[in-house]
Amino acid sequence: MSDTVEAWIEELLKSDGAGAKMTEKQARIVQSAIEVFAEKGYAASSTSEIAQRAGVAEGTIFRHYKTKKDLLFAIVAPAMTKLLAPFVLRGFHKVLDTEYESYDQVLRAMIENRIEFLRKHRNILKILLQEIPFHPEMQERFQRDVLGLVLERLRKLVAKFQDKGQMAELPSSTVVRLSVSAIMGYVAVRTVYGEREDAVWDDDFEREETIRFVMRGLGLA
Amino acid sequence: MSDTVEAWIEELLKSDGAGAKMTEKQARIVQSAIEVFAEKGYAASSTSEIAQRAGVAEGTIFRHYKTKKDLLFAIVAPAMTKLLAPFVLRGFHKVLDTEYESYDQVLRAMIENRIEFLRKHRNILKILLQEIPFHPEMQERFQRDVLGLVLERLRKLVAKFQDKGQMAELPSSTVVRLSVSAIMGYVAVRTVYGEREDAVWDDDFEREETIRFVMRGLGLA
Amino acid sequence: MSDTVEAWIEELLKSDGAGAKMTEKQARIVQSAIEVFAEKGYAASSTSEIAQRAGVAEGTIFRHYKTKKDLLFAIVAPAMTKLLAPFVLRGFHKVLDTEYESYDQVLRAMIENRIEFLRKHRNILKILLQEIPFHPEMQERFQRDVLGLVLERLRKLVAKFQDKGQMAELPSSTVVRLSVSAIMGYVAVRTVYGEREDAVWDDDFEREETIRFVMRGLGLA
Amino acid sequence: MSDTVEAWIEELLKSDGAGAKMTEKQARIVQSAIEVFAEKGYAASSTSEIAQRAGVAEGTIFRHYKTKKDLLFAIVAPAMTKLLAPFVLRGFHKVLDTEYESYDQVLRAMIENRIEFLRKHRNILKILLQEIPFHPEMQERFQRDVLGLVLERLRKLVAKFQDKGQMAELPSSTVVRLSVSAIMGYVAVRTVYGEREDAVWDDDFEREETIRFVMRGLGLA
DNA sequence: AATGAATGAGTATTCATTCAT
DNA sequence: AATGAATGAATACTCATTCAT
């Protein structure tokens, strides 16, 4: 499963928005831009530094991206696609619908998926989170494509479990919110504390307790 | 209680870092800066726009704040103090220790407190969240003063409830994390959906379900 | 002699251009200005730093001196007066005319006088030298009052010695130039090397050799 | 000889510090900077005026020189090299060692050399003299490279003449100081008076008398 | 496609000077 | 006389963008 998804995404990466293949320089520009944007924030990043890190001339950036903003969007737009990919891909989709027998399996899968995603795309995610508030186009697209789609799908998934007789009393959107909050809280703290050497953070324990907490909270255990 | 706290905070607001009274122009500068920083982000804000909105000459800003960064910190530093104020103030403190008979009261109080805070200081909070990743000094101070203190106090509070025989099986820090995640998730969604006209968001219902979810999740109901 | 001269000069210092007594703050302003101008040069000095060093408010400077340039002139103008003072003061004047029996005594007196002057007024002199090229008024005044008067007086003094039958073949102005060059060269090198610890500079020797060099050069020894 | 030297120097001028060829705009920037710095002094010169006079955009200056100070140094550093060039160049060097039969020839050559130099590089020299006191790096470099090298060479030259039995009684450094003082005095006065229409300045006469004065002063005539 | 010199509008910041207190 | 907040023009410098090569 993951292989399929990732392969699909890799392909995404290899082409620019117009579908054309990226040259090697273009790829280096995008890589540098991701680094610099993540480090300093979009507004505080200079195209000249990006060019320098990419080892290309200043002008070259503007041959590929008409403006600095275009470069940002060229990074962020595919990121959004990738964010929701696991939830809309046909293959994965089917899995979602059928494979999980109990809700805690869903939660566990979501956690693993998000952690993996964070690990792989930390910088891009950072950029996305930082810039969304300042670009209405991005906001709109994020809310429509990502939030809307993903939540709707999760809602349906939850509804399916509810049909089976569990969590009957709560609206499915509320269930989604509560589940996602718990997972995000776990992932967030893990991201901060999980990296420390002196960590008193027992990851497996915290993860399982989080899942149990949600299950109990939803009246499933 | 709230009156006392707010009064104390208002005082904070009325003086600059050095303890001196703010002139009227200085206050206008700070107000404009908060607006502009929140709207465009710190890096994308220009001192000239801040000055214009405040109705002062650009030079006036720099009479009060040596650099643009100083202006940012003059806004953000007291915000941090205020953030943790309810948790460290003597008055409130005593309350925390004694008044709550059951954990759901604590959760309800936290929710109300955070919502109120968010309503009052939305812009400053936005600035704080946006800028923390780019200013190590801010990061450090936030982690040490705000996170550290607040979480420690909450942990103690939780431990007290645990001593009374409830939630015995979980580490108090985990309990805090799970509780805070749920509350933050509720507040966040509420902030986004609560403002819409067409909202299918029944605030009282969602709040109570959130509290019940946490209580159940912790084995308290 | 020196006492008389210095007393007269001290008086100069105590009054501003208009003849009024200086207040203590004004005196501190002038002192600070001399320091700062000498350290950084006039153009690179800021009135705010001068005010700070003087311990007065920024506005206070402009109560006494309408512009920064006025402050400069208030420092430099009396300096020029003082520069030529020894040559025009009645008391000293008489001495010049009568007392010296041979030219080497004149040279020796000049050297001592210039060294003393340099020691006392190094900063003001530095300012004067630095700023003369950029202020035509200063240039004119310097050329007319200082150079003109001093050289003329020296020329007459030399002429008197020539009348006694020495240095007959050279124009007196040439004699003055050659003498002054040698003395200035000596004083300049002494200023640079004389301060070093490791100096291989035998001051008495160099001074006497300089005088002897001039005397021989003029055919007087 | 002079041809060779000058050719070498011209080459120096045509390349920037890094050895790269100057573009035409860069050359115009340097020219304008020399003019403006000489006219108003470094600190009082604005990059905008320099750009305007050079007919380039202000930004263009900073493409070539990272800071205004860099521009200053790019002007002054080669000037120092050129200042000492005649004394260290192999060709000239040999000449120095062998060609002059009597000391007055040396003096005459020095005078001509310095006058020529002054004529050609008056502005740069003015800048150099004005700015040396405020830039320790420049001071150091000047003292080490220029003063040190030149004086040492002159000292050796003088010593050679002394070996031949003349000026035996004086340290060679003292001889150099006295000679240079006289020449500089001559050149300085000449620079001031030599340009006037009404000049009572007989250049040939003054030059020869100066040389004769030095020769007599050193016991050589 | 790629370069990099050139641009000019824009940036944060400084400064001499003013003026109400 | 003295203050110091306020000013606005000027400053050095940056930046996204253009364009001739």
Residue D63: the pLDDT is 95
**Cross-strand pairs, C15:** C21
CB of C68 within 7 Å of some strand E atom? yes
Residue closest to A81 by CA, chosen among A9, A139, A155, A152: A9
| pLDDT tens digits, A168-217 | 679 999 999 999 999 999 999 998 887 666 667 899 999 999 999 999 99
8 Å CB contact of B178 and A182 = yes
Residue D114: the pLDDT is 87
The chain-wide mean pLDDT, for chain B, equals 84
Query: Is the pLDDT reported for residue B79 higher than 60?
Result: yes
Residue of A nearest to B143 (CA): A192
Amino acid identity of residue B24, one-letter, is E
Which nucleotides of strand F lie under 7 Å from a protein CB?
Answer: 1-20
Binned at pLDDT 50, 70 and 90, residue D13 comes out as: very low
Distance (Å, rounded) from C-alpha D10 to C-alpha D4? Answer: 10
Q: Which residues of B79-94 are buried (b: 16+ CB within 10 A; e: fewer)?
A: bbebbbbbbebeebee
Q: Coil, strand or helix: which one is D15?
A: strand
8 Å CB contact of D44 and C216 = no
Residue B93: the pLDDT is 52
Question: Which string of DSSP letters, residue by residue, matches chain C?
Answer: -HHHHHHHHHHHHHB-TTSPBPPHHHHHHHHHHHHHHHHH-TTT--HHHHHHHHTS-HHHHHHH-SSHHHHHHHHHHHHHHHHHHHHH-HHHHHHHHHT-SSHHHHHHHHHHHHHHHHHHHHHHHHHHHHHGGG-HHHHHHIIIIIIIHHHHHHHHHHHHHHHTTSSTTS-HHHHHHHHHHHHHHHHHHHHHHTT-TT----HHHHHHHHHHHHHHHTT--
Q: Which residues of A20-55 are buried (b: 16+ CB within 10 A; e: fewer)?
A: eeeeebbebbbebbbbbbbeebbbebebebbbeebe
Q: What angle separates helix B149-163 from helix B103-131, to the nearest 10 degrees?
A: 170
| C:D CB pairs within 8 Å | 76
Cα angle, residue C42 at apex, residues C38 and C44 outer, rounded to 5°: 100
| pLDDT tens digits, C37-46 | 999 999 999 9
Residue D93: the pLDDT is 52
Written as six digits, the tokens of C12 are 């100069």
Residue closest to A114 by CA, chosen among A156, A86, A81: A86
* Consecutive H or E run containing D3: helix D2-14
For tokens 């995603």, what's the residue?
A117
For tokens 């609206």, what's the residue?
A171
Distance (Å, rounded) from C-alpha A150 to C-alpha A172? Answer: 13
Residue D19: the pLDDT is 54
Amino acid identity of residue C127, one-letter, is I
Query: Is the pLDDT reported for residue A153 higher than 50?
Result: yes
Q: C101: phi > 0 → left, psi -120 to 50 → alpha, else beta; which?
A: alpha
Residue D81: the pLDDT is 84
CB A216 within 8 A of CB B217: yes
| pLDDT tens digits, C144-186 | 888 888 888 888 888 888 887 767 679 999 999 999 999 999 9
Query: Is the pLDDT reported for residue D134 higher than 90?
Result: yes
Amino acid identity of residue C55, one-letter, is G
Query: Is the pLDDT reported for residue D90 higher than 50?
Result: no
**What is the Rg, in whole angstroms, of the alpha carbon atoms belonging to chain C?**
20
Residue C161: the pLDDT is 86
Write out A49-67 in H/E/C secondary structure. HHHHHHCCCHHHHHHHCCC
Does B185 or B201 have the greater pLDDT score? Answer: B185
Binned at pLDDT 50, 70 and 90, residue B19 comes out as: low
CB B95 within 8 A of CB B1: yes
Distance (Å, rounded) from C-alpha D206 to C-alpha C217? Answer: 14
* Distance between D134 CA and the closest CA of chain C, angstroms: 6
Distance (Å, rounded) from C-alpha B126 to C-alpha A62? Answer: 32
Question: Which string of DSSP letters, residue by residue, matches D118-165?
Answer: HHHHHHHHHHHHHHGGG-HHHHHHIIIIIIIHHHHHHHHHHHHHHHTT
Residue C98: the pLDDT is 60
Query: Is the pLDDT reported for residue D58 higher than 70?
Result: yes
Residue D167: the pLDDT is 74
Residue D1: the pLDDT is 41
Query: Is the pLDDT reported for residue B167 higher than 80?
Result: no
- In chain B, residues with a C-beta closer than 8 Å to the C-beta of A209 are 170, 174, 178
Percent of chain C having pLDDT more than 90?
50
Distance (Å, rounded) from C-alpha D24 to C-alpha D64? Answer: 12
8 Å CB contact of B184 and A182 = no
**What is the Rg, in whole angstroms, of the alpha carbon atoms belonging to chain D?**
20
Q: Which residues of C22-41 are buried (b: 16+ CB within 10 A; e: fewer)?
A: beebbebbbebbbbbbbeeb
CB of B30 within 7 Å of some strand F atom? no
Distance (Å, rounded) from C-alpha B126 to C-alpha B116? Answer: 15
Percent of chain A having pLDDT more than 70?
81
A216 CB neighbour count, 10 Å cutoff: 18
Percent of chain D having pLDDT more than 90?
50
Residue A61: the pLDDT is 97
Query: Is the pLDDT reported for residue D62 higher than 60?
Result: yes
Which nucleotides of strand E lie under 7 Å from a protein CB?
Answer: 1-20
Burial label for D161, CB within 10 Å (0-12, 13-18, 19+), is buried
The chain-wide mean pLDDT, for chain C, equals 84
Residues recorded for chain C: 221
| pLDDT tens digits, D17-50 | 555 568 889 999 999 999 999 999 999 999 999 9
Chains that touch B (3 or more CB pairs under 8 A): A
8 Å CB contact of C213 and D184 = no
Alpha helices in chain B (DSSP H): 2-14, 24-40, 47-54, 58-64, 68-88, 90-98, 103-131, 136-141, 149-163, 172-193, 203-217
8 Å CB contact of B134 and A44 = yes
- In chain A, residues with a C-beta closer than 8 Å to the C-beta of B44 are 43, 134
For strand E, list residues 58-77 of chain A whose Cβ lies within 7 Å of it.
58-60, 62-64
| pLDDT tens digits, D165-186 | 767 689 999 999 999 999 999 9
- State the nearest residue by CA to the C1' of E9: D59
Query: Is the pLDDT reported for residue B165 higher than 90?
Result: no
* Distance between B213 CA and the closest CA of chain A, angstroms: 4
Written as six digits, the tokens of B119 are 């309503």
Written as six digits, the tokens of D55 are 């007919």
Q: How far is CA B79 from CA B61, B65, B123, B192, in A?
A: 20, 17, 10, 22
**Cross-strand pairs, D21:** D15
Q: Which domains, from first to last, does chain D contain?
A: 2-217 (1.10.357.10)
Q: What are φ and ψ of residue A201, in 5° steps?
A: -110, 105
Write out D153-204 in H/E/C secondary structure. HHHHHHHHHHHCCCCCCCCHHHHHHHHHHHHHHHHHHHHHHCCCCCCCCCHH
Written as six digits, the tokens of A173 are 């959107």
| pLDDT tens digits, C92-117 | 455 456 667 889 998 998 899 889 88
| pLDDT tens digits, A31-69 | 999 999 999 999 999 999 999 999 999 999 999 999 999
Chains A and C physically touch (3 or more Cβ atom pairs below 8 Å): no
